Structure 1
């Protein structure tokens, strides 16, 4: 259910807690909406990016904070948000989470029944991949809020979650228990769940996300954000342009034609949305004025159409493929003249960030920056989610394109002192990479070279 009704804020002073905060997608959205936020993130490099961007951050493990230091969180936090890691649920991963969906649903019911955390934690150790359990953390935080003396046992007013589309079934189960069973203290929520496409909210990228928006009973019916742009239809694009999305880049670059808009708006569209939609945003439009020559073609290193092994090709007149940690491997083809095609410069991190709707000068820092970009919630999409959840007007896309004001050295040092415990280094309280969950290969062992040769 989407809404085009008059917007009325439901909270006087929203304060967002962003779990699994990454380099700042939801926090950038919150800042552009003038909302205070605090992010919890375990990855050191993502935290360095956040400090450089001036974002309030705890360099910590989300589960550890809930277990050991929940009472230190600001008691005025009233909005719980986040996107748990998706590796075990994504079609690009080994699928341990998808295979354990029914088991995870049973854990949801056990948590809502008030079973002790210690018993739950012991049983969760039996999951093939511990990361699968991270999708339970938002619910565990919601329950913990009602047990917190520092909060006077107040539940969160609003919950906003997003994940890969394969998690929709779990969000639907979240919705069922939040509405029908309620938290162990009796708090119930009104909830909406659906799969949304980011290009329909102005993000220059096709990315489908399972979304949950919940409001505590008494705060009104929640609704999903109304789309502002048309969806990208690959078959429609191919029909209009007379080409196959997976043709060889050299064959395509000479055939590319300017494509203005998507399928025409109909009365049915107008009736459904209550307002006129714009064409989706292309890569060329998103990167205009940032030094990237057009025309160009991009060959994905990730795959397309839910097939990780399929290397799709798109032109600058199309939205990007889903931006993942492999964005730096996407091959970009350009041409010198009518007969010569060459491999151009691959996307810079700022360009990759723009395809995620980050501001053009966002201060990416640390290592594995492509992974940071790919893991982030697109800020413009996040702004739409937060606005819908809180009853705010639709976000202004231009606000996301404004220059980003990075933190000064003094501000960065202060943020890191608060987030890590020291102004210029991590401390013993920060998580270490070697202490994190095992890599995906522990779920599906790789074949040995000897076995592979047979």
Structure 2
């Protein structure tokens, strides 16, 4: 259930620890709310983006920090947040995590029962894909907080987690044990779990996420963030075809009818009249801002996925619709534009700046390092993250305009200082940073099924 009641912060000084922080989606969200954060991220390129954006960062393995340097974390941290890597749970992955759901549930119960880390770690080695165990790390951090002398064994006040929809079942199990069993020291939480769509929070993209918000007993019960925008449903949009104004385009012969047809309120779904219409790609990309020159409209976008690898069946959307889910393949999306009604040509593909803006990152966010498209696709949409953090802490819904202005890049001096803290040296990684060869996961025994169609 979502709440529309006025918000009042439940914490005097919220401070977020962002596990699996990526290039900074939740940290940018915190920035819009005036909340400090510290992110832990093991990918070097994502850390370079974070340093360039001026974000406090530890270039480290989340598991290693918990085992070896938890006591060095700022004791004033009171909000634990994160989105563990989703590859083994995502429908796009091999699915090792989905097949191990019951095993992972057992580990959740063993952790809250107080079983030793050494025993848990030894048994986790039997998982077919070690990344599956990363979904346990937020819980292990919550337990560790209650054992930390540096914190005075004080539990986190708030926990905020998000993941792909297939992890919702695990979040419900998290909720069950946090509410009924609690942590080994007896701390219990009130928890809410739900499946939310990012376009209903003003993100110009259709993306579903399983979320969990927990508040320690003694604080007000949590609620999911109230939506601010209407839901986008592709079937409802396509029903416009019935009156003959819009024809459907094939990927090999795109049409601009859909992109250029007038859009009125009723085309943006019926529903709560108090909600704003969902935001489209064109709304975000058409106008110049910062170094973004603006993108000419109308345009069509053909996705690189979604039809069993058959390119002729891949989805096509116009600029007056939200984007497809932004993934690491965003740089492969083909953008079509036209010279006149009869001549269509392939235009410039989305830049990383544009891809970030479709994720609700501010214009000119300083994407750095390698695999930038993957960084963009893996990130939490900052506007959505701001709604999650705001609801978790009890702050008002964020103002989307706070993310519409260019992001100020860090100075060289600021970057050097951040990297000295995050890596151990002002201009390079050190022995304490994860090694590049360790960043590639071990091969999974789960193999994708071949397409036999």
Does TM, scored on the shorter chain, surpass 0.5? yes
Residue pairs, 1:228-377, within 5 angstroms: 228-242=228-242, 247-248=250-251, 250-256=253-259, 257-261=261-265, 262-263=267-268, 265-266=270-271, 269=272, 276-290=274-288, 291-303=294-306, 311-377=314-380
Indicate the residue corresponding to 1:106 in structure 2.
106
Provide the rounded CA distance (Å) in 2 between the counterparts of 1:234 and 1:420: 45
| SS class of match (2:40) | strand
Is 2:175–2:193's contact at 8 Å kept on the other side of the alignment?
yes
* 1:125-156 deviation line (CA, Å, top 9, x unaligned): 11111001100000000000000000000000
Provide the rounded CA distance (Å) in 1 between the counterparts of 2:146 and 2:233: 44
User: In 2 relative to 1, CA 246–214 (structure 1 residues): closer, same or farther, beyond 3 Å?
Assistant: farther
- Deviation, 1:258, is 2.5
Provide the rounded CA distance (Å) in 2 between the counterparts of 1:89 and 1:350: 28
Is 1:249–1:313's contact at 8 Å kept on the other side of the alignment?
no
Indicate the residue corresponding to 1:80 in structure 2.
80
- In the superposition, the TM-score normalised over structure 1's length comes to 0.93
Indicate the residue corresponding to 2:150 in structure 1.
150
Indicate the residue corresponding to 1:197 in structure 2.
197
- Deviation, 1:247, is 2.9
Provide the rounded CA distance (Å) in 1 between the counterparts of 2:185 and 2:422: 31
Provide the rounded CA distance (Å) in 2 between the counterparts of 1:263 and 1:59: 42
Residue pairs, 1:113-132, within 5 angstroms: 113-132=113-132
Provide the rounded CA distance (Å) in 1 between the counterparts of 2:222 and 2:427: 42
Provide the rounded CA distance (Å) in 1 between the counterparts of 2:157 and 2:248: 44
Is 2:206–2:232's contact at 8 Å kept on the other side of the alignment?
yes
* 1:13-53 deviation line (CA, Å, top 9, x unaligned): 00000000000000001011111100000000000000000
User: In 2 relative to 1, CA 40–264 (structure 1 residues): closer, same or farther, beyond 3 Å?
Assistant: closer
Provide the rounded CA distance (Å) in 2 between the counterparts of 1:287 and 1:102: 44
Q: 1:403 aligns with which of 406, 410, 417?
A: 406
Give the unaligned 5+ runs of structure 2: 289-293
Provide the rounded CA distance (Å) in 2 between the counterparts of 1:40 and 1:248: 40
Is 1:87–1:93's contact at 8 Å kept on the other side of the alignment?
yes
Is 1:94–1:440's contact at 8 Å kept on the other side of the alignment?
no
- In the superposition, the TM-score normalised over structure 2's length comes to 0.94
- Deviation, 1:63, is 0.4
Is 1:19–1:82's contact at 8 Å kept on the other side of the alignment?
yes
1:221 is the counterpart of 2:221: yes
User: In 2 relative to 1, CA 348–440 (structure 1 residues): closer, same or farther, beyond 3 Å?
Assistant: farther
- Deviation, 1:89, is 0.5
1:6 is the counterpart of 2:6: yes
Indicate the residue corresponding to 1:176 in structure 2.
176
* 1:285-307 deviation line (CA, Å, top 9, x unaligned): 11021321111111111327xx7
User: In 2 relative to 1, CA 146–234 (structure 1 residues): closer, same or farther, beyond 3 Å?
Assistant: same
Give the unaligned 5+ runs of structure 1: 271-275
User: In 2 relative to 1, CA 323–445 (structure 1 residues): closer, same or farther, beyond 3 Å?
Assistant: closer
User: In 2 relative to 1, CA 15–308 (structure 1 residues): closer, same or farther, beyond 3 Å?
Assistant: farther
* 1:148-196 deviation line (CA, Å, top 9, x unaligned): 0000000000000000000000000000000000000000000000000
- Deviation, 1:7, is 1.1
Aligned residues: 440
| SS class of match (2:253) | helix
Provide the rounded CA distance (Å) in 1 between the counterparts of 2:394 and 2:140: 25
RMSD: 1.9
Indicate the residue corresponding to 1:139 in structure 2.
139
* 1:387-432 deviation line (CA, Å, top 9, x unaligned): 0001101100000112212111101000000000000000000001
Is 1:246–1:311's contact at 8 Å kept on the other side of the alignment?
no
* 1:213-240 deviation line (CA, Å, top 9, x unaligned): 0000111010000000001011100001
Residue pairs, 1:57-72, within 5 angstroms: 57-72=57-72
Provide the rounded CA distance (Å) in 2 between the counterparts of 1:216 and 1:245: 51
